[in-house]
Amino acid sequence: LVEFSDWIAPNVSLASGDIDVNYFQHIPFLENAKAAAGFDLVPFAPGIINNVGLYSKKYKSFNELPEGASVAIANDPINSGRGLQLLAKAGLITLKPGVGYKATEDDIVANPKKLRILQVEAVQLVRAYEDADLVQGYPAYIRLANTFDATSALLFDGLDHKEYVIQFVIQPKSKNDPRLIKFVDIYQHSPAVRAALDKAHGKLYQAGWEG
């Protein structure tokens, strides 16, 4: 196992053949990386999906949100679309049909509560919890900050959008590598791996290969 401390090196190393597979990204991230750098990489098998939720310090339900409520979502192209899809799932906005994870604010066709959408750095959303009426939240960051309960979201996205399942990614030539097939089979079906995932994530993840 080789650990990386940034979001670029794993794909660079995989594309150059220094590693055989990486496991850190979902489909939208991969597609963005391929468009930006020209990587010839493909998803091999699904792993887990880390839930993302909508959190509020002030309100217990979406119905309580007042007109003009402030909503903080991530400001980068990959995560802002996920935040907008969450708002749509909550019934707070309506998006143009078919925009999916590429949704932007320009794709909002209905906003009955006249929500004020604030875009901030994804890692700063934990801090926005104190000020905004509703916040897109990432449980991993929330646990690290230890400022509020990561399980307290009013709504999680879960497997509604399978494009956010973290993928094992490879070079196309490796698709029949028996080592990879065995490795992924163990990851997906080993009770020891599942116990480790449960310990690390609690109930804030789902197995992308089971949904």
CATH of residue 138's domain is 3.40.190.10
Q: How many angstroms separate the CA atoms of 50 and 140, rounded? A: 8
Count of Cβ atoms closer than 10 Å to residue 131 Cβ: 12
Region 179-197 average pLDDT = 98
Answer yes or no: do 188 and 200 share one domain.
yes
pLDDT over 80 at 188, yes or no: yes
Q: What tokens does 183 get?
A: 């490795």
Which residue segment(s) compose the domain that 108 sits in?
A: 53-156
The string of pLDDT tens digits covering residues 8-46 is 999 999 999 999 999 999 999 999 999 999 999 999 999
Answer yes or no: do 23 and 59 share one domain.
no
Q: Tell me the whole-structure pTM to 2 decimals.
A: 0.88
Answer yes or no: do 28 and 87 share one domain.
no
Answer yes or no: do 203 and 183 share one domain.
yes
Q: What is the pLDDT of residue 121?
A: 92
pLDDT over 80 at 211, yes or no: no
87 falls within a domain: yes
Q: What is the pLDDT of residue 117?
A: 98
Region 55-70 average pLDDT = 98
**Mean pLDDT of all residues in the chain?**
95
Region 88-97 average pLDDT = 97
Confidence of residue 159 (pLDDT cuts 50, 70, 90): confident
Region 156-177 average pLDDT = 94
Q: How many angstroms separate the CA atoms of 83 and 122, rounded? A: 10
Answer yes or no: do 80 and 145 share one domain.
yes
Which of 115, 140, 156 lies at the terminal end of a domain, its last residue? 156
Answer yes or no: do 105 and 196 share one domain.
no
133 falls within a domain: yes
Helix (H, G, I), strand (E, B) or coil at 187: helix
Answer yes or no: do 26 and 101 share one domain.
no
Amino acid symbol at 7 = W
Answer yes or no: do 39 and 71 share one domain.
no
Q: What is the pLDDT of residue 123?
A: 85
Q: Which residues contact 74 (CB under 8 A, 6 or more apart)?
A: 80, 82, 83, 119, 120, 121, 122, 125, 136
Q: How many angstroms separate the CA atoms of 13 and 158, rounded? A: 30
Answer yes or no: do 144 and 166 share one domain.
no
Answer yes or no: do 68 and 144 share one domain.
yes
The domain total for the chain is 2
Confidence of residue 78 (pLDDT cuts 50, 70, 90): confident
Answer yes or no: do 127 and 187 share one domain.
no
Q: How many angstroms separate the CA atoms of 208 and 197, rounded? A: 13
Nearest to 72 by CA among 119, 139, 113: 119
Q: How many angstroms separate the CA atoms of 6 and 45, rounded? A: 22
